Amino acid sequence: MWRGGRWRRRPFFFAMLNALVKVEPVTLEGKFVKLEPMRFDHFPALCDVGLEPSLWKWTANIVEKETDLEKYVRSALADRDQGIALPFVTIDKTSGAIVGSTRFGNIDPNHRKVEIGWTWINPKWQRTRINTEAKLLMLTHAFEVWACVRVELKTDSNNKRSRAAMIRIGATEEGTLRNHMITESGRNRHSVYFSIIDSEWPSIKEDLNAKLADRD
């Protein structure tokens, strides 16, 4: 509707957008990986693979013992209950083992955008198809089910491996937010932001599928 020299969108338009981004637990499954909605009864299995110190070196969290990981899991589930996150456990379909975790976070239905992150995979399963297919599943859900126009990713500026992985999946580096957060250790963290937008998704999807095929 045109008023005062600009378009004003009716309330039902925003209700329609909110309906597209239906924030509820969903299982995402591919050929190699299954992303299952995180539950607290996953905690023992997450402890088996999640107390490797290298996983947490560049995160905002301190995870050194089981009580630290319990706090991390409970925080993820609390964000889920508030409708701002969907945390998953990452399952290797070949072995059936939980190998890590990932998450949709900062879900913003009004602006049709979401962040993919909080991702960690036990070193035994790193550099396999697991992360590539997990990102493919999550990006497909974001762009093709939720009709997002933007997916964000971010990492510590010191985390060279994570930055390379984001570029590898086709994300565009947008810049660095200096002193973006204070980590649990008290360190000032600079965060590097990446994004994928809806117009880029078809070619990125094709490339990710090709990467998975190349490993067969």
- The 3-class secondary structure across 117-169, one letter per residue, is EEEEECHHHCCCHHHHHHHHHHHHHHHHHCCCCEEEEEEECCCHHHHHHHHHC
Could you tell me if residue 5 is inside a domain? no
Domain contains 98:
yes
Q: Does the pLDDT of residue 97 top 70, yes or no?
A: yes
Question: Using 50, 70 and 90 to split pLDDT, how confident is the model at 13?
Answer: very low
The CATH number linked to 198 is 3.40.630.30
Per the domain annotation, does 79 fall within a domain? yes
pLDDT given at position 214 = 82
Higher pLDDT, 136 or 14: 136
What integer is the mean pLDDT of 132-147?
A: 97
Look at residue 22 in the predicted model and tell me its pLDDT: 74
205 class by beta-carbon count within 10 Å (0-12 exposed, 13-18 middle, 19+ buried): middle
- List for the chain the helix, strand, coil content (%; round to 5): 40, 30, 30
Buried b (16+ CB within 10 A) or exposed e, 72-96: bbeebbebbeeeebbbbbbbbeeee
Tokens of 71: 């706090």
Distance CA 155, CA 47 (A): 23
The answer to whether residues 181 and 191 touch, using CB atoms and an 8 Å cutoff, is yes
Say which residue, 2 or 84, is predicted with more confidence.
84
Residue type at 114? V
Classify residue 157: in a domain, yes or no: yes
Average pLDDT of the residues of the chain? 92
Structural domain that includes position 129? 20-214
Whether residue 155 has pLDDT greater than 70: yes
CA 22 distance to own-chain centroid: 16
Q: For residue 15, tell me if it sits in a domain.
A: no
- Write down the pLDDT at residue 10: 47
**Left if phi > 0, otherwise alpha if psi is -120 to 50, otherwise beta: which for 199?**
alpha
Give 34-45 pLDDT, tens digit per residue: 999 999 999 999
- Classify residue 172: in a domain, yes or no: yes
Judge if pTM exceeds 0.75. Answer: yes
In a domain, 50, yes or no: yes
pLDDT above 90 for 112: yes
In a domain, 158, yes or no: yes
Q: How confident is the model at residue 23 (pLDDT cuts 50, 70, 90)?
A: confident
Q: What is the pLDDT of residue 151?
A: 98
Q: What percent of the chain has pLDDT over 70?
A: 89
Q: How many domains does the chain have?
A: 1
Determine the pLDDT at residue 14.
40
206 backbone dihedrals φ, ψ, rounded to 5°: -60, -40
CB 152 within 8 A of CB 113: yes
In 3D space, the residue among 173, 169, 86, 159 whose CA is nearest the CA of residue 129 turns out to be: 169
